[in-house]
Amino acid sequence: MRRVRIALLGCGTVGGGFVRLLSRERDRLRERYGVDAEISQILVRNLSKERPGVPRELLTDSPLKALDGDCDVVVEVIGGTHSAGAYIRRALLSGRDVVTANKAHLAERGRELFDAAAERGLFIGFEASVCGAVPIIRMLQHALAGDSVESLIGIVNGTCNFILTRMEEGMEFDQALRSAQQCGLAEADPTLDIDGIDAEQKLRILAELAFAAPVRRVTTRGIRHVVLKRGSVLRLVAEAYRVPGGVELRVEPRELPPDHPLAAVRDEENAVIIRGRAMGEVMIRGKGAGSLPTASAVLSDVVEIARLRPPLGHAKAAADAAALLK
């Protein structure tokens, strides 16, 4: 049995889902994978907030207590780039593997973090950072290793897709945005989603995995000013393809023929179609966000890391790194 102690940073939509999911799945993980995953600390900002189902004794508002305590894996589901970035770096420096759902930070500093992890023989799991529950990262990293990807195209922002689906049913943009906010799918400040920035960040991560080539050109247009013709299907499409010397990335609203596979992707769903030189097209589709779906991708990463580590490997790596920090 491999025991994994987890420092959970953040207990909001994804973190709260992770606590519930782990308590539901813990016995199955022990039996099926021989992994005994246990949360040792939970970092939050506000200790007095009501958090049904979350053991109070695990909560702390001290980043040092959470990060430097007894843990093997640090799960970062705080979001943003400033504190989250500092905590991920500290976790790596002290010899802990990291799992994160933070596409914003990975899009900005991913390469640096992966280099830091590789130097120390540590893992960074980031399946939840793109397309929530849809295992697109693992697919690009492992399942498609035998082929050269020529292009990928998809719907990677569930909020915009929800808004565009509502508009297709007759709502105006503002009304559809309010509806997304009421369902908890859009932030009070929806800029990152509706201006295409979130989709661009995700596309950068996917393109790095698919092509490992320099990005030559990026075009990003959101859905803030779209006008929908009656009966047409509009989607915020993210596309990456090879160009001489690298790859080109495009995020833009596109009208799709009704029989296009992405036209059938509705509400907050995500989907990606990958074209490989040998395999032709493969499509993957599912829930791109939400508490339990996203938490399931986070937990899969934790299990994967535990299975990759030899027993006691964590403890030894952490002890070696801690000795170096002293």
Ligand X SMILES: NC(=O)c1ccc[n+]([C@@H]2O[C@H](COP(=O)([O-])OP(=O)(O)OC[C@H]3O[C@@H](n4cnc5c(N)ncnc54)[C@H](OP(=O)(O)O)[C@@H]3O)[C@@H](O)[C@H]2O)c1
46 binds ligand X (CB under 6 A): yes
Three-class SS state of 266: coil
190 binds ligand X (CB under 6 A): no
Among 8, 35, 74, 78, binds ligand X (CB under 6 A): 78
Q: For residue 215, how far is the Cα from the chain centroid?
A: 21
The interface region with ligand X, picked from 9-17, 33-41, 109-117, 212-220 by CB under 6 A, is 9-17
Extract the tokens encoding 50: 């009501």
How far is 299 from 74, CA to CA, in rounded Å? 12
Residues 267-306 that bind ligand X (CB under 6 A): 289-290, 294
Q: 64-97 burial by CB neighbour count: b if 16+ within 10 A, else e?
A: eebbbeebbbbbbbbbeeebbbebbebbbbbbbb
Query: Residue count at the site for ligand X (CB under 6 A)?
Result: 23
How far is 165 from 233, CA to CA, in rounded Å? 8
**Nearer of residues 61 and 70 to ligand X, judged by Cβ:** 61
The interface region with ligand X, picked from 18-26, 40-48, 138-146, 301-309 by CB under 6 A, is 40-48
Nearest approach in angstroms of CB 310 to ligand X is 30
Among 3, 12, 171, 267, binds ligand X (CB under 6 A): 12
User: Do 15 and 42 contact (CB within 8 A), yes or no?
Assistant: yes
How far is 9 from 75, CA to CA, in rounded Å? 6
Q: Which residue is nearest to ligand X (CB)?
A: 12
Among 7, 10, 95, 140, binds ligand X (CB under 6 A): 10
Interacting residues with ligand X (CB under 6 A): 10-15, 43-46, 49, 77-79, 83, 101-103, 128, 132, 289-290, 294
